[in-house]
Amino acid sequence: MALYAIGDLHLHFASDLRAPGQLNSKLWQNHEQRFADICEALIKPDDTLLLLGDHSWGKNLDQAAPDLDYICRLPGKKILLRGNHDMFWDAKKTAQLNSMYEGRLRFLQNNFYPYRDFALVGTKGYTFEGPFRVNARGQVIGWDENAKKHADALVEREMERLEASFQDACSQGYSRFIMLLHYPPTSVLERESDFTRIAEKYRVQQVVYAHCHGQARFHDSVIGMMHGIRYDLASGDYLKWQPLKILP
Ligand SMILES: [Fe+2]
Ligand SMILES: [Fe+2]
């Protein structure tokens, strides 16, 4: 029994949407088959695979269905987190998705899933990605205030969801946590955030996140130990499609 994580499969079996520029490298060619092959060799039926969002380019559930079917066929138990591109997943309809895919997929949002004596707690999260004003030396000297206000509101909503999930897990007796985010825990210019603070408040063992694509973005946020918590990036291209082992 083992717990693995990876994010950003960006599947598009039913939609003709092309991956954006940063997803056009060799690493993404036929990545669906390579990832499935890696999972078949690695993941046993009683293992759990956490998929950290950006599952599908589908704009609705019909377009995403073949992508979700592909995920259903991967070995092990699958738990899905919502990513910014997952248009098929209305946050308010998570319970509907859970009943539709009961016994095949589990959707993590405003709830938690147990793994051994850990509670797996997670939400999409949010980070401020600009637009920034940059000087001639490439240093950030300001940003769009309206965009920042919008980002702050989204962070607040995500924090409410996360806090509710932690509280739910605590009320059911859990005191050990793995925290999952789609977005990195900190924005490009930060070393701490509401997300790192809540991880410290609940003394989570590990924070795993995705969303960062391409060499230039892999180090946008924290990787490694910080204040006693391990932070890991698990976007598919960062991991070269090899799921990251989180727990035995
Ligand atoms: Fe992504
Ligand atoms: Fe993303």
Contacts of 96 by beta carbon, 8 Å cutoff, 6+ apart: none
Tokens of 73: 């066929």
Rounded-to-integer distance, Cα 95 and Cα 93, Å:
5
Under the banding of pLDDT at 50, 70 and 90, the label for residue 18 is low
pLDDT higher at 23 or 65:
65
* In the predicted structure, residue 131 carries a pLDDT above the cut 90: no
Rounded-to-integer distance, Cα 156 and Cα 162, Å:
10
* In the predicted structure, residue 26 carries a pLDDT above the cut 70: yes
Q: State residue 17's pLDDT score.
A: 64
> Which ligand ends up closest to the CA of 127?
2
Q: Is 40 helix (H, G, I), strand (E, B) or coil?
A: helix
When divided into structural domains, the chain yields a total of 1
CB 151 within 8 A of CB 143: no
> Which ligand ends up closest to the CA of 23?
1
154 Cα to the center of ligand 2, angstroms: 15
In terms of Cα–Cα distance, which of 106, 41, 109, 112 is closest to 72? Answer: 106
86 Cα to the center of ligand 2, angstroms: 9
179 Cα to the center of ligand 1, angstroms: 18
| Cβ neighbourhood burial of 85 (10 Å; 0-12, 13-18, 19+) | buried
CATH number at residue 201: 3.60.21
CB 214 within 8 A of CB 22: yes
Note down the domain range covering 84. Answer: 3-247
18 Cα to the center of ligand 2, angstroms: 15
172 Cα to the center of ligand 1, angstroms: 33
Average pLDDT score over residue span 5-31: 81
| Span 198-233, pLDDT tens digits | 999 999 999 999 999 989 899 999 999 999 999 999
Tokens of 190: 């930060």
* In the predicted structure, residue 8 carries a pLDDT above the cut 60: yes
26 Cα to the center of ligand 1, angstroms: 16
Average pLDDT score over residue span 121-144: 89
| Amino acid at residue number 111 | N
* In the predicted structure, residue 129 carries a pLDDT above the cut 90: no
Over pLDDT 70: what percentage of the chain?
96
213 Cα to the center of ligand 1, angstroms: 7
